[in-house]
């Protein structure tokens, strides 16, 4: 599943490749990916230009002339830029540009979404109005007061995109390892200093992962020739039975809220 660093890598690549392209036509082979009325969507987008591409959490935001095109890749969504080659399996939405190139949205699982919202409204409209701040923007006092009220595991709280945006399974494991906090600790037991360490570690983990183009792991490979290298920097995630890089204790794998979770039982109390 692409997480924040992988989505950021896709954003940078797309912005370089397709800024200033103008939409000429849209083919929706699997219209349910588009959450708007398909006919209306096509009518509105044709003639608009891509001025820049932003990102909030794991959402890509194409800033057009009048509207924002908001894309969530979910489990398997990816993009390809092509000329007039035949449509491949899983290429569900094809955006044709005036230049003759086209942008293809490919999604094996079909869980991704594409939504067009006017520029004057998109920040105050679902889904972006539901999104918490990213670690780099979060206020520690506020974050600590939220943790104080939660009687659930810290890992589950960090995965909740309403509270903090952009941390998925891999990066939560790495963040908790760096901050010496066990993933099953009840959030309300986290001290102010620990809350501060968690945020500092999350910023550090995401910055490093963005620098390295994200993590290429299991089934998800980014499109557009993007291959991340952060998998070489992982301390605990996917490292069951390997020695902890800090204390040499064997890393263990456990389940937290159904998610595979990696912990050093000695460093993370």
Q: Does the annotation mark 2 as catalytic?
A: yes
Nearest approach, Cβ of residue 241 and Zn ion (Å): 13
Q: Does the annotation mark 58 as catalytic?
A: yes
Q: Using alpha carbons, list the distances in angstroms from residue 85 to 24, 95, 110, 164.
A: 17, 13, 22, 41
Q: Does the annotation mark 150 as catalytic?
A: no
DSSP letters spanning 112-163: -EEEEEETTTGGGSTTGGG--B-GGG--HHHHHHHHHT--SBHHHHHH-TTT
Task: Name the catalytic one among 3, 8, 21, 91.
Answer: 3
Count of CB atoms within 10 A of residue 201's CB?
A: 20
Sort residue 218 into left (φ over 0), alpha (ψ -120 to 50) or beta.
left
Query: By rule CB under 5 A, what string of x and - marks binding of each residue 221-260 to Zn ion?
Result: -----------------------x-xx-x-----------
146 binds Zn ion (CB under 5 A): no
Distance (Å, whole) CA 79 – CA 77: 7
Nearest approach, Cβ of residue 250 and Zn ion (Å): 9
Distance (Å, whole) CA 87 – CA 163: 39
263 binds Zn ion (CB under 5 A): no
Task: Name the catalytic one among 58, 104, 155, 239.
Answer: 58
SS3 letters for 80-104? EEECCCCCCCCEEEEEEECCCCEEE
DSSP letters spanning 162-179: TTBSS--HHHHHHHHHHT
Closer of 25 and 266 to Zn ion (Cβ): 266
Range list of H helices, 23-89: 38-45
Nearest approach, Cβ of residue 19 and Zn ion (Å): 45
Q: How many residues bind Zn ion (CB under 5 A)?
A: 7
Q: Minimal CA–CA distance to 177: which of 247, 97, 82, 77?
A: 247
Closer of 171 and 177 to Zn ion (Cβ): 177
1 binds Zn ion (CB under 5 A): no
Closer of 58 and 182 to Zn ion (Cβ): 182
263 near 236, Cβ under 8 Å? yes
Q: Does the annotation mark 86 as catalytic?
A: no
Binding Zn ion (rule: CB under 5 A), the pick from 4, 60, 226, 264 is 264
42 near 26, Cβ under 8 Å? yes
Task: Name the catalytic one among 74, 101, 259, 265.
Answer: 259
**Which of positions 10-29 make contact with Zn ion (CB under 5 A)?**
none
Nearest approach, Cβ of residue 158 and Zn ion (Å): 20
Nearest approach, Cβ of residue 155 and Zn ion (Å): 17
Nearest approach, Cβ of residue 230 and Zn ion (Å): 20
Binding Zn ion (rule: CB under 5 A), the pick from 71, 226, 256, 267 is 267
Closest residue to Zn ion, based on beta-carbon distance: 244
Binding site for Zn ion (CB under 5 A): 244, 246-247, 249, 264, 266-267
Catalytic residues: 2-3, 58, 259
């Amino acid at each position: 599943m692409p997480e924040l660093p992988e989505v950021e890598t896709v954003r940078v690549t797309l912005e370089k490749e397709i800024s200033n392209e103008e939409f000429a036509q849209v083919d929706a082979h699997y219209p349910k990916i588009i959450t708007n009325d398909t006919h209306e969507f096509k009518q509105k987008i044709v003639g608009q230009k891509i001025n820049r591409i932003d990102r909030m959490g794991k959402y890509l935001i194409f800033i057009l002339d009048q509207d924002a095109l908001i894309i969530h890749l979910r489990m398997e969504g990816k993009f390809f830029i092509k000329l007039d080659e035949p449509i491949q399996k899983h290429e569900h939405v094809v955006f044709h540009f005036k230049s003759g190139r086209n942008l293809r949205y490919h999604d094996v699982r079909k869980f991704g979404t594409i939504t067009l919202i006017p520029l004057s409204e998109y920040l105050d409209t679902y889904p972006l109005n539901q999104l918490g701040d990213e670690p780099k923007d979060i206020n520690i006092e506020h974050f600590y007061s939220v943790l104080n009220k939660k009687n659930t595991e810290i890992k589950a709280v960090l995965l909740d995109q309403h509270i903090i945006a952009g941390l998925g399974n891999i990066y939560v494991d790495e963040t908790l390892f760096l901050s010496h906090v066990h993933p099953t600790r009840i959030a309300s037991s986290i001290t102010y200093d620990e809350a501060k360490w968690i945020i500092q570690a999350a910023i550090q983990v995401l910055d490093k992962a963005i620098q390295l183009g994200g993590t290429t792991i299991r089934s998800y490979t980014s499109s557009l020739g993007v291959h991340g290298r952060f998998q070489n920097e992982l301390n605990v995630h996917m490292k069951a039975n390997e020695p902890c890089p800090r204390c040499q204790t064997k890393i263990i794998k456990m389940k937290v809220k159904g998610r595979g979770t990696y912990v050093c039982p000695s460093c993370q109390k």
